[in-house]
Amino acid sequence: MNRVLLYVKDSPSARETAQELASFLKSLGKQVEIYINRRDSKEKPKKADLVVVVGGDGTFLSAARSMARYSIPIVGINEGRFGFLTEVGKQEYKEVLIGIFEGRLVPQRRKMLAAYMIRRDKRKLIGYCLNDAVVSKGTIARMVELDVYAEDDYMLRLYGDGLIVSTPTGSTAYALSAGGPIVYPLSEVILLVPICPHTLSNRPLVIPSHFSVRVVCLSPKRMAYLTLDGQRVLALQKYDVVEIKNAPYECLMYTSPHRGYFEILKEKLRWG
């Protein structure tokens, strides 16, 4: 691992940490590139042997989507507010990075989802997500109407604010706030979590990860939207079909060697 990409949140504190980190990496003989994650940036991050995210969970999700197809491992250093994915603290990043370079730490393989849209019989890849793909209502306070299929089996017609299709990693994000279960991040499953369903019997459901989920939009144009990881948004038209399935790539994610998953749940979510 000689080439290291610093994927940095566009904030003064994250930039300062990135400069300190770059100096440390160069002292180890590493080649360092710094990419500032701006919303309006047309520049694309360069390939590397390791991606170090300096920011919060939003920056980590952006990096995961950008770098997934290259199978580049990622480690997150927390410079945000929550830091569930960017779980390595500034006080321990040197130890963690040395452990990565010496091969003592092994990345976890986190499942990602791929989202496709089928409109007038034309199928198009929209993108990938590490947390969730969400079909939900727009700003107008009306319910959306969705038909949901798992594989070729019709499941239900959903009236409500929308549907979250989540990975195990995303089970502690939007899905959790909508009443979904916490799922261990290495589990081989997909979560279906209705958002404010009109029918009380529409409860969250866990299905095998090899299943393909299809969501048919029955709401008028621009009444429903597809959102990936809360960041990429696409307006849907009536009869659009959103297909969500396992992505062909995984997120290779290094975690802190000092805290296990359940300890992080207790620390971040006050679980238990």
154 is in an annotated binding site: no
The reply, when asked if residue 237 is annotated as ligand binding, is no
- The encoded tokens of residue 234 equal 């696409």
The single residue of 40, 57, 152, 153 carrying the catalytic annotation is: 57
Query: Would residue 57 show up in a list of annotated catalytic residues for this protein?
Result: yes
The annotation status of 132 as a binding-site residue, yes or no, is yes
Chain center to CA of 39: 17
127 is in an annotated binding site: no
162 in a known ligand binding site: no
Q: How many CB atoms lie within 10 A of CB 211?
A: 16
CB 21 within 8 A of CB 77: yes
Q: What are phi and psi of 182, to 5 degrees?
A: -80, 125
The Cα 167–Cα 131 span in angstroms is 6
- Residue 173 marked as a ligand binder: yes
Question: Is residue 22 annotated as involved in ligand binding?
Answer: no
Q: Is 91 annotated as a binding residue?
A: no
Using CA atoms, how far apart are residues 28 and 39, in angstroms rounded to an integer?
31
Residue 252 CB contacts under 8 Å (≥ 6 apart), including other chains: 71, 72, 73, 74, 107, 108, 109, 110
- 231 labelled binding-site residue: yes
Whether the Cβ atoms of residue 114 and residue 246 lie closer than 8 Å to each other: yes
Provide the 3-class DSSP secondary structure of residue 199.
coil
**57 among annotated binding-site residues:** yes
Annotated binding site for NAD(+): which residue ranges? 57-58, 131-132, 142, 161, 172-177, 231
Annotated binding site: which residue ranges? 57-58, 131-132, 142, 161, 172-177, 231
Q: Catalytic site residues?
A: 57
